[in-house]
Amino acid sequence: MHLRLTEEQKMIQQTVRKFVQKELMPLEPEVLRNEREGKPGISREKKKELQKKAADLGFWGINTPKEYGGADLGQVMQAVLTIEISKTFVPFFFGGYADNILYYCNEEQKKRYLIPTLNGERISCFALTEPGAGSDTRRIKMSAEKRGNEWVLNGEKIFITNGNEADFAMVFAVTDKEKKGHGGVTCFLVDRDMGWRSEYIHTMGEWGPASLIFDNVRVPEENVLGELHGGYQLGLEWIGFHRWLVGARAVGSAERVLQMAIDHSKQRITFGRPLADRQAIQWQIADSAVEIEAAKWLVFNAAWTLDQGEDNRHLASMAKLFGANMGNRVIDRVLQIHGGMGYTKELPIERWYREARLWRIYDGTDEIQRMIIARNLLKGHVKLGDLV
Ligand SMILES: Cc1cc2nc3c(=O)[nH]c(=O)nc-3n(C[C@H](O)[C@H](O)[C@H](O)COP(=O)(O)OP(=O)(O)OC[C@H]3O[C@@H](n4cnc5c(N)ncnc54)[C@H](O)[C@@H]3O)c2cc1C
């Protein structure tokens, strides 16, 4: 059992850490300014420029298979890198990334969807949730009816990340009304110019998702992704990939803000002594550090398990549930330690506070993760003590 990164992994971690400190953190004031004016934190061009710089350092396609030019570093490294880039709120991700389910594209679809997405030429979005179907995805109603060699899509999707920016959507629709859920849902690749429109949804965070409206949108039959009626499985695969990474995002962000609290508590004097001298503050710092460490190990266990080719779904739910809640607790404590300043927009803590609340909702809410964990234990799919 090895509980440390290899020298090579540490070197990669250090390189990304420096990239984040040198290229991303200096952009934070500008991101805050832009967002205050209702603009995206950084422009698409700026993001591309940063992705190019990262690519020059070898960071392109972190988990993209080598046959597509990716680095294919594996999930442990995905966790390491996600933690590092989450130490800033600058909205950045490495280039050469495409949704895991786009690898189910056939050769023709790969040319139109997978490859342009990897190259940053096209933006995708994942459209499963509907006004009447969030946690209970089996209730989706978006209909797809076959007419000749086309499918006609009608319905609405809601809360779709990137829905306003996307060039195409991976849309889940009911193709067999008798079955619905498993066996009755198909995933379609639907270009924006096929006729769907999007409406921005204002949220408390800065990553406004969108509603997608489908009004008799005609989709050629060759745009079915994977198997006809096989969409539900694809949806679960997409969600499963992102779930435990929410925990990684929480770990990186919590580490950054806790350091801010440590620095602040040493400088801020009240009643003649630094805050850092007070047990009330020390205990908040200590509890936060312990919780970050615990979340980190859950994340790495989920990542490592996946790298072994094993089923990590139980661990992914644990990493997401604990990580998301840990992140919220730590950011709340850090805001408290900063007092009134923590509540202002002069500091980024309130921005993190708003973003962190989402971690408990998307990719399966807290309650859904608890449901999964409890079901696995009660049905005996997982036994206590089996996980290491
Ligand atoms: C900013 C943002 C971005 C998103 N991005 C995407 C995206 O890109 N693509 C996409 O498809 N979706 C996306 N979502 C949707 C997200 O996945 C759903 O909001 C989430 O799954 C919860 O569904 P819901 O909002 O319908 O809540 P509901 O399912 O209505 O749940 C409401 C509350 O009841 C609880 N609950 C539900 N069922 C049970 C139960 N059986 N037992 C106990 N409690 C229960 C839930 O945990 C929750 O607290 C996004 C959401 C947000 C806010």
Å from CA of 133 to ligand 1 middle: 8
pTM higher than 0.85: yes
Q: Measure the CA angle with vertex 245, ends 240 and 246; round to 5°.
A: 100
Protein residue with least CA distance to atom 24, ligand 1: 134
Pocket test for ligand 1, best of 159, 190, 373 (most atoms within 8 A of CB): 159
Å from CA of 368 to ligand 1 middle: 9
> Roughly how many angstroms between the first and final C-alpha of the chain, as a whole number?
10
Ligand 1 atom with minimal separation from the 125 CA: 8
**What is 160-214 written as a DSSP string?**
ETTTTT-SEEEEEEES-TTT-HHHHEEEEEEEGGGT-EEEE---SSSS--EEEEE
3-state secondary structure at position 222: helix
Protein residue with least CA distance to atom 9, ligand 1: 160
For 190-213, b/e burial (b = at least 16 CB within 10 A) is: bbbebebebeeeeeebbebbbbbb
Å from CA of 236 to ligand 1 middle: 14
Å from CA of 325 to ligand 1 middle: 16
- Are 238 and 103 in contact by the 8 Å Cβ rule? The answer is no
Low-confidence residues of the chain, pLDDT below 50? none
- Three-state SS annotation for 319-388: HHHHHHHHHHHHHHHHHHHCHHHHHCCCCCHHHHHHHHHHHCCCCCCHHHHHHHHHHHHHCCCCCCCCCC
What would you report as the CA-atom Rg of the chain, rounded to the nearest whole angstrom? 22
Protein residue with least CA distance to atom 52, ligand 1: 159
Å from CA of 209 to ligand 1 middle: 13
The total of other beta-carbon atoms located within 10 Å of residue 276's CB is 17
- Are 213 and 249 in contact by the 8 Å Cβ rule? The answer is no
Q: Tell me which DSSP letter residue 219 carries.
A: E
> Which tokens belong to 363?
């990719």
Q: In this predicted structure, what is the pLDDT of residue 386?
A: 78
Q: In this predicted structure, what is the pLDDT of residue 180?
A: 64
Question: Residues enclosing ligand 1, CB less than 6 A?
Answer: 126-129, 134-136, 159-161, 203, 207, 209, 358, 361-362, 365, 367-368
Of 282, 281, 294, 305, nearest to 255 by C-alpha is 294
Q: Tell me which DSSP letter residue 133 carries.
A: B
Pocket test for ligand 1, best of 365, 369, 371, 375 (most atoms within 8 A of CB): 365
Ligand 1 atom with minimal separation from the 136 CA: 29
User: Any idea which residue has 């779709």 for tokens?
Assistant: 160
